[in-house]
Amino acid sequence: MSGQVRPITLVGTPVLHQPCRTVENFDAALAELADDMFASMYAAEGVGLAANQIGVDLRVFVYDCDDADGRQHKGTVVNPTVDLPELGERRLDEGDEGCLSVPGPYAKLARPDRATCHGFDLQGAPVTIEGTGQLARCLQHETDHLQGKLYIDRLSGRSRKKVLKQYAELRAEAAAEAEGAAADG
């Protein structure tokens, strides 16, 4: 797989906090975007990546993660929607969740343990992905991104503040280390 690694867009950047535009052209530029998204996701050691996480305002995400049975799933979904089990049939999985756009901290976040994602592949053909386990979490997380939501937006106020504080501390440490390395160099 080819593709250029693009920088990951970080929390606070406007494109992450607004709904993305619907994809209308299933063309070579879209395929190139998906290649760049996979390259960027793998470089950042992620399991999913939405287009707005590399600054592109389009409803596209890529994923490469396993389901509850340990089977690996990989793909691209364009213009996705997610269906969740009815409330009476819904089981929540309170797992650790993190985000490449909020690098560093993780937080417990309850999400349904099953999700069905509908959308299109890169040629415009309809696709449906049935997700369980980590794949269900990924489908929900990436679709949230395309609606302008980060996982921290689903946390309680206290948990959200804690994650953002950890993130700020990690960013400050990294900046101090970079400054020290520049002074030594």
Entry pTM: 0.92
pLDDT per position as a tens digit, 90-122: 999 999 999 999 999 999 999 999 999 999 999
pLDDT per position as a tens digit, 36-58: 999 999 999 999 999 999 999 99
| pLDDT recorded at residue 185 | 61
Q: Which fold has domain 14-184?
A: Peptide Deformylase (3.90.45)
Residue 3 pLDDT more than 70?
yes
| pLDDT recorded at residue 178 | 79
What residues contact residue 52 under an 8 Å CB cut-off, 6+ apart?
9, 15, 16, 20, 58, 145, 146, 148
| pLDDT recorded at residue 121 | 98
Residue 169 is a catalytic residue: no
Q: Where along the chain do its domains lie?
A: 14-184
What residues contact residue 80 under an 8 Å CB cut-off, 6+ apart?
59, 61, 117, 118, 119, 139, 142, 143, 146
Residue 1 pLDDT more than 60?
no
| Percentage of the chain exceeding pLDDT 90 | 87
Round to whole Å and give the CA distance between 99 and 103.
6
Catalytic pick from 24, 45, 142, 177? Answer: 142
Mean pLDDT, range 4-14, rounded to an integer: 97
Round to whole Å and give the CA distance between 139 and 131.
7
Q: Is 45 helix (H, G, I), strand (E, B) or coil?
A: coil
Structural contact between residues 48 and 55, judged by C-beta atoms closer than 8 angstroms: no
Question: How does the average pLDDT of the chain come out, rounded?
Answer: 95
